[in-house]
Copies of this chain bind each other. A is one copy, B any other.
Amino acid sequence: MTEVTEGLDQQVSDLVFAYDAAYGRAAQTVSLSAAQACLLEHLTADGCSMGELAGELLCDASNVTQLVSRLEARGLVARVPDPADRRIKRVSITPAGQRVRDAVRRAFDFPSDRLGRLTQPERHQLAALLAKVLA
């Protein structure tokens, strides 16, 4: 590894640390944990099943059960039984949940504060590099 590459590793580590911290702060502004905010962000309009959420969040299904239960207790999501398969519970976001989710997005200042420092050509460059890294 060259000098530059080692510096790059550290920079990526710092980026992730700053991102996680900013996300946690944004969630806290509406008394949500990062995990709860993350789940809220993953909900789609037609409603995800619990299993789909567990797959996307890379965690156990029983963990999703608890997260959804807490969000449901606050009235931010609702469990809707799937008419076609009654084993399935579809999690849909309520109007109150949408307001909270939007508040988290507004409070999440990482994109504007950090990525906003780049010029438009620089963003294109970064997007191209990240596309290669994430492919």
| Other-chain residue from B5, B21, B114, B124 in contact with A115 (beta carbon distance below 8 A) | B5
> Using Cβ atoms and an 8 Å threshold, which residues of chain B touch A134?
11, 14-15, 18, 114
Number of residues of chain A lying within 8 A (CB) of chain B: 37
Evaluate contact between B130 and A8: CB separation under 8 angstroms.
yes
| Other-chain residue from B18, B19, B129 in contact with A125 (beta carbon distance below 8 A) | B129
- A126 CA / B114 CA spacing, docked (Å): 15
- Given A15-B134, A20-B20, A134-B14, are A7 and B127 neighbors across the interface (CB < 8 Å)? yes
Smallest Cβ-Cβ distance to A130: which chain B residue: B11
Task: Say yes or no: is A12 at the interface (Cβ < 8 Å to chain B).
Answer: yes
Evaluate contact between B115 and A12: CB separation under 8 angstroms.
yes
Smallest Cβ-Cβ distance to A17: which chain B residue: B58
Smallest Cβ-Cβ distance to A6: which chain B residue: B111
- A120 CA / B4 CA spacing, docked (Å): 9
| Other-chain residue from B9, B20, B114, B127 in contact with A111 (beta carbon distance below 8 A) | B9
- A129 CA / B129 CA spacing, docked (Å): 10
The list of the 9 closest CB pairs from A to B, nearest first, reads: A11-B130, A16-B19, A9-B111, A8-B127, A114-B133, A126-B129, A16-B16, A8-B123, A14-B134
What residues of chain A have their CB less than 8 Å away from a CB belonging to chain B?
2, 4-5, 7-9, 11-16, 18-21, 58, 110-111, 114-115, 117-118, 120, 122-127, 129-135
